[in-house]
Amino acid sequence: MRRHVFFAALFATIAAAALPAAAGEADVVAVAVERHPGTEDMFDFRVTVLSNDRDTSYYADAVEIVGPDGNVLSRHALQHPQTEQPFTHELDDMRVPVGIQRVTVRVHHKPRGYDGQTVSIQLPR
């Protein structure tokens, strides 16, 4: 539980400082990642998104972890618009193949696609 408090405080600080001047409809504004102890390929991600969510036809509808070759390693659907902005989505137990040192986190916007800011992050190994 303390870990969640730490991440909440960390994201509040990072998100406030990282808001982009020119933004897309859905931007990744902060990412934190932790490796599971005793593993080489399991990670937990905390992704903070700032999105121009209006209704169920216009909102951030997925968060993706993308490898350096452009392949999507993980995609998590977001089922509804978020009223609180920015918001943080937790992606736990993500398997990233050994050998990949850096990933990009992006958010998909319905209907705009991938027009927003992404974050590239080094994985803790």
29 within 8 A of 86, measured Cβ to Cβ: yes
Which region among 6-10, 29-33, 34-38 has the lowest average model confidence (pLDDT)?
Answer: 6-10
Instruction: List beta partners, residue 122.
Output: 102
* Higher pLDDT, residue 1 or 93: 93
pLDDT of 5 reads: 43
- Look over the chain and give the mean of its residue pLDDT values, rounded to a whole number: 87
CA distance 15 to 34: 18
pLDDT of 108 reads: 97
118 within 8 A of 99, measured Cβ to Cβ: no
- Whether the predicted pLDDT of 26 surpasses 50: yes
Residue 13 binned pLDDT confidence (cut-offs 50, 70, 90) = very low
Angle at 36 between CA 33 and CA 42, to 5 degrees: 80
Mean pLDDT of 106-123: 96
Dihedrals phi, psi of 11, to nearest 5 degrees? -65, -40
pLDDT of 23 reads: 79
CA distance 93 to 96: 10
Q: Among 86, 88, 58, 85, which residue's Cα sits nearest to residue 76?
A: 88
- Whether the predicted pLDDT of 46 surpasses 60: yes
